[in-house]
Amino acid sequence: MKSRLFRILTIILSFFFLTGFVPILSFVGPGVTFLTSGNVYKASAQFIVNQRIEKETGKNSLTLIKETLVEETDKKIKINSFEEDLRQLVETKIKMTRQKLDNQNLQKLLKKRIEVTRSVLDLNNITQ
């Protein structure tokens, strides 16, 4: 009995590996689902969904999900890069504006001091 089961499994496994039967992975997921849950409907649905995805995209579900996640990560990196560039630009403009305002305030203060000094010394009325 054991030798017969062993021969059958050997023939099936050799069929999978020697004939290039690649979609074996599409049977593994539903098989695991069936073995762990015992739910044939759930395993069948998973197999059908995997086949449909492969038919539509030409990729298996794992590859499709991986590529989608990589694309989303790339988008987030680009968005973060854009936000960082924008933040640096705004900070630079704020610093420039503050510097201009400080210069204007300094010039106003200097003019006011000069006027006060002239008024104290009464330099406007003195002629040479």
Q: How confident is the model at residue 96 (pLDDT cuts 50, 70, 90)?
A: very high
List b or e across 35-49, with b for residues whose CB sees 16 or more CB atoms inside 10 angstroms.
eeeeeeeebeebbee
Domain ranges of the chain: 2-121
* pTM, to two decimals: 0.34
The DSSP 8-state label assigned to residue 39 in this structure reads -
Please state the rounded mean pLDDT for residues 50-68.
Answer: 82
The candidate with the shortest Cα–Cα distance to 103, out of 114, 115, 92, 111, is 111
- As a 3-state breakdown, the chain gives helix, strand, coil percent values, each rounded to 5, of 85, 0, 15
| Radius of gyration, CA atoms only, the chain | 39
Is 95 in contact with 85 (CB distance < 8 Å)? no
Report residue 23 as tokens: 């979609």
Percent of the chain with pLDDT over 90: 5
